[in-house]
Amino acid sequence: MTNPQAVAPLLLAWYDRHRRALPWRALPGTTADPYRVWLSEVMLQQTTVAAVKPRFEAWVARWPDFASLAAADDADVMATWAGLGYYARARNLVAAAKAVVADHGGAFPTDEATLRTLPGLGAYTAAAVAAIAFGRRAVVVDANVERVVARLFAIRDPLPGARVAIRAATDRVTPDARAGDFAQAMMDLGSGICTPRAPSCLLCPLNAECAGYRQGAPERLPAKATKKAKPRRYGTIFWVQRGDDVLLVRRPDKGLLGGMRALPTGPWVEVAPALDGAPVDAEWAMRNVAVSHGFTHFDIELTLAVAMGQAHHAVDGEWWPIADLDRAGLPTLFAKAAAAILRRDA
DNA sequence: TATACGTGGAA
DNA sequence: TTTCCAAGTAT
């Protein structure tokens, strides 16, 4: 049987030897900067460490603290986030920074419940910040912890139903002291040892306590409910060129790619919509190469429609220099389309 | 509880 | 090529 009391000492001893050095992590024995801890946690939501590292460095160089971020230009923030995905995170980052300045005297709240009231801080992030930045005991459960704990206690119920039991078990193994190190140790273990496929159980500091390992096939845990098939949609992207400029629009704040600069598109529907939703009247030239892109809940194929060198008046949007398109902050979907056009292979 | 919400890397 | 999935949150 797994002894809950044995887990934290084993894991923390392992962490002291094997912890990863990450830009947002304090050196051992020093205090982490709450701003950096929070920013890193938000960037890391559903996003890999490798993708976050360079973005984190660039962000803190530009906006090093709550005050600077609270005063940031919204379009700059969204463009700086471009390519990271889940764009509501960027909008919520600014909103939370404003709330810290306006409602909390410029100091980040230190308790989980108050942190939870800030936009973009859910159960996981509030607990992680309370533990990592402020040393509070908090039950920190992310996908790594779910996997480690499901295996440690051989919890066989499938997610998401198993979350209640997993959280209770995590509570039982979380220590009063070093709660932040414990949370990060669980995540390092999940990332490097207790991996989704082919976990390195022989190297695991918890293997003697692990019911999943003892029972065999720990890689099968946690079980997950079967997911539905992703639908496929079709749409048209409009490339409207006037001299050396191209027409960009800003997408509505709510919804997919909300608030992001973008190329104009028509509706995204079950069958190819041709020129529905064109931003101007023009002689459109349809390109042969489609842009394919996968979102979390659907795949899409987009046809490119091009209008060049025609007079376009009273257009709602910005004329953006094509040579500076890299700086427009386009989401990946539109960056792909622009690249296809500019390669002239479309 | 279920669904919307991005992206890129690994296998 | 396809599938999985990564430090989740909001509604």
Q: What confidence score (pLDDT) does residue A1 get?
A: 81
Of A41, A112, A146, A209, catalytic: A41
Q: What confidence score (pLDDT) does residue A243 get?
A: 94
CA of A195 to C1' of B10 (A): 12
* A258 CB less than 7 Å from any atom of strand B: yes
Mean per-residue pLDDT, A151-174: 96
Which tokens belong to A103?
Answer: 């409602």
Instruction: From residue A245, give the alpha-carbon distance in Å to each of A170, A218, A322.
Output: 55, 56, 5
* A112 CB less than 7 Å from any atom of strand C: no
Does the structure show a pLDDT above 90 at A271?
no
Residue A105 CA to its chain's centroid (Å): 28
- What letter would DSSP give residue A287? -
CA of A113 to C1' of B11 (A): 40
CA of A273 to C1' of B4 (A): 23
* Strand B-contacting residues in A 163-182, CB cut-off 7 angstroms: 163
Residue A259 · residue A244 · CB < 8 Å: no
Mean per-residue pLDDT, A177-204: 96
- A55-95 pLDDT, tens digit each: 999 999 999 999 999 999 999 999 999 999 999 999 999 99
Does the structure show a pLDDT above 60 at A239?
yes
Q: For the whole prediction, is pTM greater than 0.85?
A: yes
Query: How high is the mean pLDDT of chain A?
Result: 94
* A50 CB less than 7 Å from any atom of strand B: yes
A19-28, A59-68, A96-105 — which is least confidently predicted?
A: A19-28
Q: What confidence score (pLDDT) does residue A310 get?
A: 78
- A250-264 pLDDT, tens digit each: 999 999 999 999 999
Residue A23 · residue A57 · CB < 8 Å: yes
Answer yes or no: A41 catalytic.
yes
CA of A2 to C1' of B9 (A): 34
User: A35-51 burial string, b = 16+ CB within 10 Å, else e?
Assistant: bbbbbbbbbbbeeeeee
CA of A303 to C1' of B10 (A): 29
* A22 CB less than 7 Å from any atom of strand B: no
Confidence of residue A53 (pLDDT cuts 50, 70, 90): very high
The DSSP string of A238-263 is EEEEETTEEEEEE--SSSTTTT-EE-
Does the structure show a pLDDT above 80 at A315?
no
* A226 CB less than 7 Å from any atom of strand B: no
Does the structure show a pLDDT above 60 at A346?
no
Q: Which nucleotide is nearest to A331 (CA to C1')?
A: B6
Confidence of residue A344 (pLDDT cuts 50, 70, 90): low
Burial of A99 from C-beta contacts in 10 A (0-12 / 13-18 / 19+):
middle
